């Protein structure tokens, strides 16, 4: 099998490639990535010379790039996206280009190349926000109600994927996953930023009251879920992925502080994110019952593994917290 992984130099894409080559050693992986600020070939340096792995620099919004890359490919897995909600609030334009136009360009090339299976990696954020007081969870039946520019572009991309299935019979599947954490996550997201800030002796910025809830999943468990969708998923179907790890941000941060033996004085409450979604929670019954998926990692164990990884890979993340990152940090956390 020859698999085109778009966005394979990012956090989840690179973890997925490592997972795939370990579990399907006879497959060929082509990693197609634009290498934005979030794309990092260091994530894949130990497989650089693996004969089953190739890297192609390209943009999913370029028809020329994707048509070329699609030659001889059996399966496409689309991870490529602009992914950080706060950056989408500062500047939505690149999100529309990559997440909406890019997905459409990729779908078009996949349909023309008669790809056997197109899997689109999406998010729980397309469903909007749940109340803190309710016990409701998102499922495949939940109506779309995206509330940030990032979520709106991911929702549009999901609709396009379904449209290509209905209109052109492109064999597609979609997965909508909850918040991921683990190795190689760019240090801008809650867990990666908190760990790296604390390792640098800096405080952790907490938005609003800190009582916003996310359903956390270790990245390797996301990879195993996508693996099952590719092996056993029904064409045209959507699968929600999550682990019932609904935890308030402040509780996540307190767990990180405890593991790193730091006090609560390292918490800094800052101005809230505009339109901040209060709670996400996923009902993953379909993928569990129909495909037999279950998460391997429990949250506390995976958090310890993740912290250990950032402690052992300071060179990796320190390089990413460069001048450009500082400018972003200033705009996001200081000037607002
Ligand atoms: P990331 O920001 O770490 O990586 C994104 C990758 O896409 C980078 O390597 C970047 O260079 C590449 N890319 C961006 N624009 C591109 C373009 N135009 N052409 C080609 N490559 C491009 O993202 P991530 O956290 O690994 O997320 C991967 C996917 O999973 C995204 O589609 C995201 O919406 C989805 N997702 C993420 C999470 C999460 O918690 N991180 C949860 C659910 C779903
Ligand atoms: O739910 C899946 C989504 O999870 C993915 O689709 C996105 O690509 C990914 O970025 C992530 O989005 P979130 O906005 O939920 O993740 P983030 O880590 O940015 O924020 C998690 C929570 O922590 C959220 O309530 C905002 C809060 N937060 C975040 C940052 C960066 C803070 O309180 N302080 C911070 O500095």
Per-residue pLDDT reduced to its tens digit, 143-174: 999 999 999 999 999 999 999 999 999 999 99
Residue 43 banded pLDDT, cuts 50, 70, 90: very high
Q: Which of 124, 188, 215, 220 is catalytic?
A: 124
Beta bridge partner(s), residue 206 = 269
Residue 336 banded pLDDT, cuts 50, 70, 90: confident
Segment 282-290 shows an average pLDDT of 98
- Residue 216 Cα to ligand 2 midpoint, Å, equals 10
Segment 96-106 shows an average pLDDT of 99
212-268 pLDDT, tens digit per residue, is 999 999 999 999 999 999 999 999 999 999 999 999 999 999 999 999 999 999 999
pLDDT of residue 335: 87
Chain-centroid distance of CA 19 in Å reads 15
Segment 200-211 shows an average pLDDT of 98
Residue 114 banded pLDDT, cuts 50, 70, 90: very high
Ligand 2 nearest atom to the CA of residue 122, by list position: 6
Residue nearest atom 35 in ligand 2 by C-alpha distance? 190
Following CA atoms 78, 80, 85, 90 in sequence, which dihedral angle do they give, to the nearest 10 degrees? -140
- Residue 33 Cα to ligand 1 midpoint, Å, equals 10
pLDDT of residue 153: 99
Mean pLDDT (the chain) is 98
pLDDT of residue 94: 98
Which ranges in the chain are annotated with CATH 3.40.50.720?
A: 2-181+215-241
What percent of the chain clears pLDDT 90, i.e. is strictly above it? 99
- pTM over 0.95? The answer is yes
- Cα–Cα dist 205/226, whole Å: 32
CATH class of 2-181+215-241: alpha beta
Which ranges in the chain are annotated with CATH 3.90.25.10?
A: 190-213+249-280+301-332
Has residue 57 got a pLDDT over 80?
yes
pLDDT of residue 184: 98
What percent of the chain clears pLDDT 70, i.e. is strictly above it? 100
4-36 pLDDT, tens digit per residue, is 999 999 999 999 999 999 999 999 999 999 999
Of the candidate CATH numbers 3.90.25.10, 1.10.3720.10, 3.40.50.1000, 3.30.70.980, the domain formed by 190-213+249-280+301-332 belongs to 3.90.25.10
**Quick check: CB of 38 below 6 Å from ligand 1?**
yes
Q: Which of 53, 150, 164, 212 is catalytic?
A: 150
pLDDT of residue 273: 98
82-94 pLDDT, tens digit per residue, is 999 999 999 999 9
Residue nearest atom 19 in ligand 2 by C-alpha distance? 189
- Residue 4 Cα to ligand 1 midpoint, Å, equals 15
């Amino acid at each position: 099998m020859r698999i085109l992984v778009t966005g394979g130099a990012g956090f989840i894409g690179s973890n997925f490639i490592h997972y795939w080559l370990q579990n399907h050693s006879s497959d060929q992986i082509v990693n197609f990535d634009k290498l934005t600020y979030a794309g990092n070939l260091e994530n894949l340096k130990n497989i650089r010379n693996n004969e089953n792995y190739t890297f192609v620099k390209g943009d999913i919004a370029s028809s020329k790039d994707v048509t070329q890359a699609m030659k001889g490919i059996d399966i496409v897995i689309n991870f490529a996206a602009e992914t950080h909600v706060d950056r989408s609030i500062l500047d939505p334009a690149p999100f529309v280009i990559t997440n909406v136009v890019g997905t459409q360009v990729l779908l078009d090339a996949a349909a023309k190349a008669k790809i056997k299976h197109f899997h689109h990696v999406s998010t729980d954020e397309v469903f909007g926000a749940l109340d803190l007081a309710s016990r409701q969870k998102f499922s495949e039946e939940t109506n779309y109600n995206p509330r940030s520019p990032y979520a709106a572009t991911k929702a549009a991309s999901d609709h396009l994927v379904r449209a290509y299935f209905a209109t052109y019979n492109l064999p597609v599947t979609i997965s909508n996953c909850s918040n991921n954490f683990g190795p190689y996550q760019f240090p801008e997201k809650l867990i990666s930023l908190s760990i790296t800030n604390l390792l640098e002796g800096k405080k952790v910025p907490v938005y609003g009251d800190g009582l916003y809830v996310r359903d956390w999943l270790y990245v390797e468990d996301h990879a195993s879920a996508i693996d099952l969708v590719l092996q056993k998923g029904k064409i045209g179907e959507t699968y929600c992925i999550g682990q019932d790890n609904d935890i308030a941000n402040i509780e996540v941060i307190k767990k990180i502080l405890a593991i790193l033996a730091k006090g609560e004085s390292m918490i800094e409450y800052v101005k809230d994110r505009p339109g901040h979604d209060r709670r996400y929670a996923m009902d993953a019954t379909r993928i569990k019952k129909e495909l037999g998926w279950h998460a391997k990692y429990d949250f506390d164990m995976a958090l310890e593994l993740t912290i250990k990884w950032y402690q052992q890979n300071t060179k990796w993340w320190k390089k990413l917290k460069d001048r450009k990152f500082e400018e972003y940090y200033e705009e996001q956390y200081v000037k607002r």
